[in-house]
Chains A and B, each alone.
Chain A
Amino acid sequence: MDLNIIWFLLYGVLIAGYAILDGFDLGVGVLHLFTKDEKEKRINLNAIGPVWDGNEVWLLTAGGALFAAFPIVYATVFSAFYLALMLLLLFLILRAVSMEFRGKIESQKWKNVWDWSFGLGSFVPALLFGVAVGNIMRGIPLNSEGMFTGNFFGLLNPYSLLVGVLSLIMFTLHGSIYLAMKTEGDQLKRMKNIAPKLWIAFVILYFLATVFTMFEAGYLFKDVLGNPIFWIFFLLLLVSVLYIPVAVKGDKFGKAFIASSISITSMIGLAAISLFPRLVPSLTDLSYSLTIYNASSTPRTLKTMLIIALIGVPIVLVYTIYIYRVFKGKVKLTEESY
């Protein structure tokens, strides 16, 4: 296994880490749009309050790691997705401030503004995450020099939009399970009620997206079906997805959350193994694709970065787990709450 493959793997870990952790924050934000009661709204905010910012750092670190390990991809994709990314940033900005701002003034109008801004600031990124993944799976128009030749509206193709809706529903399901762990009474009942419905929508969408992928990006399946890793992820996905409604029904929300985390990881794993060793397939001609070899940094930089990751990430995991343990259990509103 060479350094480029290790970094492909680490990059997958970063994306999965982001999707699992900020995924439930985004899901809670989407559900916030449908929450009516003031106390329940505050519980939504405080359920993710102490941890959401740390979760978003996975995205920032993924951005930095992409720049460091695969700078050509960082430069090509981010300038190609220019308007889409600017919109994503706008909504992430709204989400970041709305939680802090909302409780500062006792006015219904003020609170309504920040409720919407928090909700949409979660809804749009949850959708765009899938749109981005869809476009990468399908490939983007790159010429022989690796230059992007498409435009913004080309990114809004039906396939990528379908994957966008899939990620939106996936994160909302993930968020509803997280909220079930953090809430009590009526709010808990509502989450228990909505999770199975979201689950059904998720399963249907996933099935549709897989069929659509065969037509839209059939090349992805060409070599991968003989690869045992593909089938391991597939089995993991199957088992974990099937277990989610069982666990929710039995009030085992912690286990349901783990299952939902495993299914998110497996989906990303399946996508990654099908793409490998490509990072950004070219729609123009597959041989123009950006791969882990033609788009990477030098071995020296990859090695340096690996050392940084090996020192830093275990420390991050230790205190992140500690912080989650401190805030374990149902949310209680106190004077420090939002």
Chain B
Amino acid sequence: MDAVFLARIQFAFTIMFHFIFPPLSIGLAWLLVVVEGMGWKKKSEIYLKIGKFFGKLLAITFAVGVASGIVMEFQFGTNWAEYSKFVGDIFGAPLAAEGVFAFFLESGFLGLYLFGRNKVSKGVHWFSILMVAVGSTLSAFWIIVAGSWQQTPAGFVIQNGRAELTNFFEAVFNPSTMVRFSHTMTSAIITGAFFMAGVSAYLIIKKRDIKIAKKGLALGVIAGLIFSILIIFPFGHEHAKQVAETQPAKFAAMEGLYKTQSGAPLILFSFPVDNPPGLIGTIELPKLLSWMAFGDSSKEIKGIDAFPKDELPPLFITFVSFHNMVALGMFFLLLMIWSAFLLYRKKLYTSMKTLKVLLWSIPLPFIAIQLGWIAAEVGRQPWIVYKLLRTSDAASVTVSSGEILFSIIMFSLIYLALGALWLFLLVKEIKHGPEKLTEKEATV
């Protein structure tokens, strides 16, 4: 098999597996900052026990995230040596900064948070989970800086056969960094909020630890509502506008716009086919896309026909993953509005159906995130650095397809086992539930 194709498969597989864990870690860490803060300020045993319970789940998730993350730091060099040589002058710096500013912070303070509850003051203990949250957020920031530079490169000049840095701040704050960062961060908090709400819903359904579960549910739903709004407007919207401006070919593929036209429609649902290239079964809203992307309903938007064939991303994958992500985002908003409404009317704790929907919605933000990543990365193809370097020219030339195949098989087996163990241990800890409140605490 083709070594470049295998290298693509390996990268996609290892990063998608890794990308299951950091969003949950980041989301949970920030929610735990709130929970532990309440426990500390209100001297509340209930919050303390929520903290311990979700802290354990965070620890398991973080461990698998660390384990699968090690691979990412080395994989650019092992599998994408030509890419590494081309971008090293720019791309390496954010990775190193991630180590110095983020990894040390989150891993150091996670140890203090998990093992130090009785060794340091309550204030320092709260500070330690805050630093875990800050560290994991900084980690997201720097890796998104690197990824965004691939999408919208800036602050460089092509010289000596490679991209050389001319302005660090332009490279870091390239046109897509901040929109991508805010979009990704909100999605991480949604993941954490759905997780906390769903797990708490489970405990209520099973009629266990009601006092603890109610607080967790309320926090999950409130955070879920706020961030489900934010991810659509402004962050999702801004991100789409940025893609429309800076990566028109990707935008056309995401939106399924085959013909260049003024007053382009927004396609709500459709099915892309190859022969002849186009969409079938389309439901669309006229002129809306032009208005949303450029604030002008008659604005001309470039369609797929405006680009040379060898500069187009795979259309089906880009379109389908993007649209399903948006659909999930809409569902998150509706579910959270409804749950928040019930919470406000004090009916949520007894609405078994809604609680069940919340429970079974736990995996959905993970899926939405994966879809979003696919739309972003597949949509960037055939480029590994947009308009500068093709993915097909970026792989290591000294690594054979047999070697890559070997490592794909190895990672598939180990990740399958890790993923299964992670799920198994999470479910086990959740079923075991939080520490029981003493009778005195329960009556407070």
Chain A complexes with chain B:
yes
Across the interface, which residues of A come within 8 angstroms of B97, CB to CB? 64, 308, 312
CB pair B63–A297 under 8 Å, yes or no, is no
Is B333's beta carbon under 8 Å from chain A? no
Smallest CB-CB separation from A297: which chain B residue? B89
Is B73's beta carbon under 8 Å from chain A? yes
B149-183 interface mask toward A, CB cutoff 8 Å, 1 = contact, 0 = none? 00000000000000011101000000000000000
Range class of the A interface residue count: 35 or more
CB pair B103–A96 under 8 Å, yes or no, is no
| Closest CB in chain B relative to A103 CB, distance in Å | 11
Smallest CB-CB separation from A77: which chain B residue? B77
Across the interface, which residues of B come within 8 angstroms of A66, CB to CB? 92
Across the interface, which residues of B come within 8 angstroms of A323, CB to CB? 108-109, 111-112
Across the interface, which residues of A come within 8 angstroms of B68, CB to CB? 93
Q: Given A65-B96, A97-B421, A57–B103 Cβ distance below 8 Å?
A: yes
Q: Given A80-B398, A304-B165, A54–B108 Cβ distance below 8 Å?
A: yes
A23-53 interface mask toward B, CB cutoff 8 Å, 1 = contact, 0 = none? 0000000000000000000000010011101
Q: Given A53-B111, A54-B107, A71–B70 Cβ distance below 8 Å?
A: no
CB pair A71–B85 under 8 Å, yes or no, is yes
Chain B, range 66-125, C-beta contacts under 8 Å to A: 66-68, 70-71, 73-74, 76-79, 81-82, 84-85, 87-93, 95-101, 103-105, 107-112, 114-120
CB pair A67–B77 under 8 Å, yes or no, is yes
* Number of interface residues, chain B, beta carbon within 8 A: 68
Is B274's beta carbon under 8 Å from chain A? no
| Closest CB in chain B relative to A100 CB, distance in Å | 4
Is B350's beta carbon under 8 Å from chain A? no
Across the interface, which residues of B come within 8 angstroms of A54, CB to CB? 104, 107-108, 111
Q: In the complex, A304 Cα to B89 Cα: how many Å?
A: 11
Across the interface, which residues of B come within 8 angstroms of A53, CB to CB? 66, 107-108, 110-111
Is A301's beta carbon under 8 Å from chain B? yes
Across the interface, which residues of B come within 8 angstroms of A90, CB to CB? 410, 414
Across the interface, which residues of B come within 8 angstroms of A221, CB to CB? none
CB pair A71–B84 under 8 Å, yes or no, is yes
Q: Given A57-B104, A297-B89, A308-B96, A50–B111 Cβ distance below 8 Å?
A: yes
Q: In the complex, A65 Cα to B105 Cα: how many Å?
A: 17
CB pair B165–A298 under 8 Å, yes or no, is yes
CB pair A336–B115 under 8 Å, yes or no, is yes
Across the interface, which residues of A come within 8 angstroms of B344, CB to CB? none
Q: In the complex, A239 Cα to B81 Cα: how many Å?
A: 42
Is A101's beta carbon under 8 Å from chain B? yes
Partner of A304, one of B104, B114, B168: B168
Across the interface, which residues of B come within 8 angstroms of A72, CB to CB? 85, 88
| Closest CB in chain B relative to A298 CB, distance in Å | 5
Q: In the complex, A102 Cα to B93 Cα: how many Å?
A: 36
Smallest CB-CB separation from B397: which chain A residue? A147
Q: Given A71-B84, A100-B60, A61–B99 Cβ distance below 8 Å?
A: yes
Across the interface, which residues of A come within 8 angstroms of B112, CB to CB? 50, 323, 326
Smallest CB-CB separation from B69: which chain A residue? A60
Smallest CB-CB separation from B87: which chain A residue? A71
Q: In the complex, A336 Cα to B112 Cα: how many Å?
A: 11
Q: Given A75-B84, A297-B88, A93–B70 Cβ distance below 8 Å?
A: yes
Is A287's beta carbon under 8 Å from chain B? no
Main secondary structure of the interface of A (DSSP, over half): helix
Chain A, range 295-325, C-beta contacts under 8 Å to B: 297-298, 300-301, 304-305, 308-309, 312-313, 316, 319-320, 323
| Closest CB in chain B relative to A46 CB, distance in Å | 8
Is A92's beta carbon under 8 Å from chain B? yes
| Closest CB in chain A relative to B268 CB, distance in Å | 42
Partner of A298, one of B67, B89, B110: B89
Stretch at the interface among A81-89, A183-191, A252-260, A278-286: A81-89
User: Which residue among B59, B88, B110, B396 has the maximum number of chain A CB atoms within 10 Å of its CB?
Assistant: B88
CB pair A93–B414 under 8 Å, yes or no, is yes
| Closest CB in chain B relative to A25 CB, distance in Å | 12
Is A68's beta carbon under 8 Å from chain B? yes
Across the interface, which residues of B come within 8 angstroms of A71, CB to CB? 84-85, 87-89, 92
Q: Given A74-B77, A308-B100, A323-B112, A86–B85 Cβ distance below 8 Å?
A: no
| Closest CB in chain A relative to B408 CB, distance in Å | 10
Is A69's beta carbon under 8 Å from chain B? yes
Is A327's beta carbon under 8 Å from chain B? yes
Across the interface, which residues of B come within 8 angstroms of A301, CB to CB? 89-90, 92-93, 164-165
CB pair A68–B96 under 8 Å, yes or no, is yes
Q: In the complex, A337 Cα to B56 Cα: how many Å?
A: 12
Q: In the complex, A36 Cα to B390 Cα: how many Å?
A: 55
CB pair A312–B100 under 8 Å, yes or no, is yes
Q: In the complex, A287 Cα to B74 Cα: how many Å?
A: 27
| Chain A residues close to B by CB (< 8 Å) | 46, 49-51, 53-54, 56-57, 59-61, 63-69, 71-72, 74-83, 85-86, 89-90, 92-94, 96-97, 99-101, 104-105, 147-148, 152, 297-298, 300-301, 304-305, 308-309, 312-313, 316, 319-320, 323, 326-327, 334, 336-337
7 A-B pairs in the complex with CB atoms less than 8 angstroms apart = A54-B108, A68-B96, A69-B96, A104-B428, A104-B429, A320-B104, A323-B108
List the 3 closest A-B pairs by CB distance, nearest first. A71-B88, A68-B92, A78-B77
